[in-house]
A and B are shown apart, each in its own frame.
Chain A
Amino acid sequence: MIEVKNLCKNYGKKKALSDLTFSVKKGEILGFLGPNGAGKSTTMNILTGYISTTGGSVKIDGFDILDNPIEAKQKMGYLPEHPPLYPDMTVAKYLSFMFDLKKVSLNKQEKKQAHIKSICNLLKLDDVYKRIIKNLSKGYKQRVGLAQALLGYPEVLILDEPTVGLDPKQIIEIRNLIKGFGENHTVILSSHILSEVQAICDRVIVLNRGILVADDTAFNLSNVEACVKYTAKIQGDEAEVLEKCKQLDSIKEILSLGEKEKGVYDFIIEGEVGEGQDVRKSIFDFAVENNWILLGIHTNEMSLEEAFLNLTKDIKETDITKQDSSQVEQVEQVEQVEQVEQVEQVTKKDLIINNIEEEKDVSDI
């Protein structure tokens, strides 16, 4: 459905995208993942024909976005990073305008107003249907933006951070909506919420500084480096637990997250991977042996963020330096090396703590 070949985009001397190639099949939900400035929005803007490419081609259902823009755009619905809303219009008038602008063609039985109403109903916009857009909250504005992308139920839906500004209940509803929509349409979405990409997308493309770092399923990506980590809640002396556990063979590493409740400490424990080896049993037995009270234990799967950092770490020595030394000025190289160093400075502990917090956020949702 979407064919992207050798896509390049330069902003002056800065390379925003370099040699991006991927394709998306019908009925597939593809996630774009990457840090700020990775080129996610640039790619989406090129796919939708908003900006041009420096090189390469984009085909939507066989139509080249630059040679046959009208046909290609007819098949797409796009929600950019900032929803393109006219603040002086009411939701009803705006959607009616977008309907005309996109030249949506409906079945003979379906009327324009009924179609718009059904989309508003889907996105819970009925309450604000007659209100002026500038008076709406951010969440509602985001939903109106999503509504205009859905008009005519296009074959390809491109969404740049679709759940930004929504409340937790809405996030789940919108995710389900996108998932349902993706069953028989093609969806590309970008997100900085990693759990979101994991939850919705069949496939994930990881971008870093305009280079495709990985193209795989979310599941495979988070299993790039298998390691088993657990969070254990132990009531006991922190120093004693740390010291004694380090002596255990089955425990590879242990880190304390500090006192979370009175007298109760959280520990991150990484077990040695081996057949028939389960570090949880050892922790339990060891706790009993030392008269500590084990209040809880749960598995920390490696998140996409960790996988992502691993991936971006891998490319730093190879692709980027190769490309930079030949094409980018020395000044830029120095900047990039500094950035890479910064990434390296993120300690393992910080990473793990981030993951825990993120998981908590998700469980709150």
Chain B
Amino acid sequence: MLAIFKREIGSYFNSAIGYAYLAVFYFFSGLYLFLTSLAYNSSNLSGVFGSLITISMFLVPILTMKLISEERKQKTDQALLTSPIKLSSIVIGKFFAGLFIYVLGILITVVYAITLSFYAPMEWTVIIGNVLGIILLGGALISIGVFVSSTTESQVISAIVSFAIMMFLFFSDGFFQNITNPTIKEFFVQMSFFTRFQDFTIGIIDISNIIFFISFIVVFNFLTVRTLEKRRWR
């Protein structure tokens, strides 16, 4: 697992993807920090976090699109699948590599918070809730991206499909507002990443929300393992 993790991190920074991702992420988070906090002389970072989930939705598919599809295209999956390691180690290694880069991006908000704390009192519980929430949310998005990447050889298809699924999950409550059946409507409201994330932004760390995101991560990583295992089915 560690070998895969190290290789993927190396691969992000050997190519421009890692740098481009972080540069764009830092640029937009900085821009939103200025527009939503600094411009109003406020130390409230909620605006920054709110905007980061949209940025993540656009950028995470780029981070995950090549993770497995590229292996299949380059036929390097032959090296992975014929090595004496478990399929789950391959998937987890790749998942954490994606998450690592994602967290590197998110940590900039902590730098903002610490910097601002020199000038104004900070609501640390809200910030911790936000950081935790956005990391869990990112984990769920990355697991979806890795799964989609395992189903195709094309990076472009991988990115587009991941983006579509993510967008659907984000706004599933909004999309199905007009549904009259209360059970189905409730289902989509509960599935909405946006609704789940809302609690974190106001500093409420609800265990059900944490479990929701973690289950999402586990389920999609499991599906990825099964996709890879499919080749070995009789």
Contact = CB atoms under 8 A, between A and B. Distances in A.
B159 to A, nearest CB: 19
A51 B86 CA distance: 15
Contacts of B232: 49, 51-52, 66, 69
Interface residues of B, number: 26
Contacts of B10: 89, 93
A103 interface: yes
Interface in A66-95: 66, 69-71, 73-74, 76, 78, 80, 82, 84-89, 93
B125 to A, nearest CB: 41
A194 interface: no
Interface of A: 45, 48-55, 66, 69-71, 73-74, 76, 78, 80, 82, 84-89, 93, 97-98, 100-103, 148
Contacts of B78: 45, 50, 78, 80, 82, 84
B85 interface: yes
A180 B192 CA distance: 63
Secondary structure of the A contact surface, majority rule = loop
A80 B75 contact: yes
Q: Which of A84, A85, A89 has the most CB of B within 10 A?
A: A84
Nearest to B83: A101
Secondary structure of the B contact surface, majority rule = helix
B3 A73 contact: no
Interface string B160-182: 00000000000000000000000
A88 B82 contact: no
Nearest to B82: A48
Contacts of A45: 78
A249 to B, nearest CB: 59
Nearest to A77: B82
19 contacts: A48-B82, A49-B81, A50-B81, A51-B231, A51-B232, A52-B232, A53-B234, A70-B85, A76-B82, A84-B78, A84-B79, A87-B74, A93-B10, A97-B3, A98-B79, A101-B4, A101-B80, A102-B84, A103-B83
Nearest to B93: A101
